[in-house]
Structure 1
Amino acid sequence: MIEVRDLRVRYAGRLAADVPELDVGAGECVAIVGESGSGKSTTLLSLLGLTQDAEISGHVRVCGVDVLAASPRGLREIRGARAALVMQSPQSALSPATRLGVLMRRALKLHGVGRGADRGGSLDEIMAESVAAVMLDRTILRRYPHEISGGQAQRFAIALAIALGAEVILADEPTSALDVTVQAEVVGVLRRLREQRGLALLLVSHDLALISTIADRVLVMKDGEVVESGPAARVLTEPAHPYTRELLEALP
């Protein structure tokens, strides 16, 4: 679902991210970890062509689309509809004057959901099923963004991705602003979606304890470069790079 080779992202000639190889298959979760400024979010945004004023080179394919060679129309066909981005603070992207149900319906119509024969059910049914899939009551669709919690906002963003039919979810620090209980709920939702729907998950986080509960493989980044990668069980228990060991030793 995601295939990256020799990705390099530069701003004004300065290297911000250098990723030699990154693959994420259906039903798989890969995590990118590292301190702030290590290049994690830059890598994530570059996969959907969302890095502004950046020089990008390499090979990037998402859902079979060559991102670096795609036209604006081609990128629009995968953004949201096939590959969805869940940001750290989704509430900041929600209009405070619009109910969540109206926002979701508007997004579905923009992406043509409900027009074709490939998606069964009415828009109302698709919306209700998507919020139920993330353990939310359908009454949340009548609420405004300020009437829901941070955890509910994260799950609503995931529900929107499901309603759009996304095959890939790119999540940037999806639990960083949440308490431990709500973190567990969000991670549980992502895990179920991966197992039940075969979604490919690329998760960016600095929380190694969180990563250990969901990721199949881990990439460790420092100063824009990948310093270590491999199966999560090996990287998080027998790290080969000194920086990875420092991250693990910093855990309380």
Structure 2
Amino acid sequence: MIEVRDLQVRYGERVVASVPELDVRAGECVAIVGESGSGKSTTLLSLLGLTEGAHVSGSIRVCGVEVLQAPERRLREIRGARVALVMQSPQAALSPTTRLGTLMRRALKLHGRGGEQGAGPEPERGTGRKARQGKVRRIMVDAVEAVMLDPGILRRYPHEISGGQAQRFAIALAIALGAEVILADEPTSALDVTVQAEVVGVLRRLRAERGLALLLVSHDLALVSTIADRVLVMKDGAVVEGGPAAEVLAEPSHPYTRELLEALP
């Protein structure tokens, strides 16, 4: 699902992220860990061509698309529909004056999900339109229920839900759009421990049930140890260690990784 080789992201003469190799297969979770400024989020954003103003080199292949060579139109097609980005504070990306259900419905229409596009002329009345509306509603309800949310949340506004609900709604939106890959940037850092466990549990279950590929960026090694199959450790823009999560976190070979583990409470 994700294949990265010899990735370098530069701003001027400064290399802010250098990743020799990164692969994420279907149903697998890979975590990129490190302190703030280590290049984690930059690496994540480069996978969708979202590092504006940067010079990016190497090879980035996501869902069969060579990102660095693809036209912007092709990248817009895969963003959201095949590869979803879940940010640290998703509420900031939601229109405060629009109900969550309307936001999801618009996203589905934009990406042609549920027969909203490409189905020919739509009659003003009749079973065809009602059937499409029913299909879209079913997709939305199934998606929010998959992340353990009550469908009633679709009638709420962003300010009426908690941080944990917002995170799960962002994941539900990815599911509704049919995303095969989720890129999650510090998805639980602003949540309390109980809600963190809920969000991680949802991601773990979706991996198992739907074969989602998950690339997780986090500074929280305790969290990473509960969900990641493999880990990359970044420091000052470079990968200093990588391998199976159980091995890296149990017997780290690099001093920086040991420092991160020693900093755990």
For the criterion TM > 0.5, the same-fold answer is yes
Write out the 4+ residue segments of structure 1 that deviate beyond 6 Å after TM superposition.
none
Cα deviations by residue, 1:218-246 (Å, 9 ceiling, x for unpaired):
00000000000000000000000000000
User: Which piece of structure 1 moves more, 216-225 or 68-77?
Assistant: 68-77
Q: Which amino acid aligns with 1:70?
A: A
**Mapping of residues 1-252 of structure 1, within 5 Å:** 1-115=1-115, 122-252=135-265
Number of matched residues? 250
For structure 2, list consecutive stretches of 5 or more residues without a partner in the other structure: 120-131
1:12 CA drift (Å) = 1.7
Amino acid at match of 1:109: K
Post-superposition shift, 1:77?
1.3
Give the CA deviation at 1:61: 0.3
CA distance in structure 1 between the partners assigned to 2:12 and 2:85 by the alignment:
25
How far 1:114 sits from its partner (Å)? Answer: 1.4
The gaps in structure 1 that reach 5 residues or longer are none
Per-residue CA deviation, residues 95-120 of structure 1 (Å, 9 max, x unaligned), is: 00000000000011001111279xx9
CA–CA distance in structure 1, aligned partners of residues 243 and 135 of structure 2:
43
Secondary structure of residue in 2 paired with 1:189: helix
Paired letter, 1:68: L
Hey, what's the Cα distance between the residues in 1 that align with 2:114 and 2:212? 21
- Inter-partner Cα distance in structure 1 for 2:214 and 2:161: 25
Deviations 1:200-224 (A, max 9, x none): 0000000000000000000000000
> Secondary structure, in 3 states, of the residue corresponding to 1:247?
helix
Letter in 2 for 1:4: V
Taking the aligned partners of 1:167 and 1:76, their CA distance within structure 2 comes to: 15
User: Is the helix fraction higher in 1 or 2?
Assistant: 2
Compare 55-64 and 107-116 and name the one that shifted more.
Answer: 107-116
| RMSD after superposition | 1.1
TM-score under structure 1 length normalisation: 0.98
One-letter amino acid matched to 1:18: S
Q: Identical aligned pairs, as a percentage?
A: 83
TM-score computed with the length of structure 2 as normaliser = 0.93
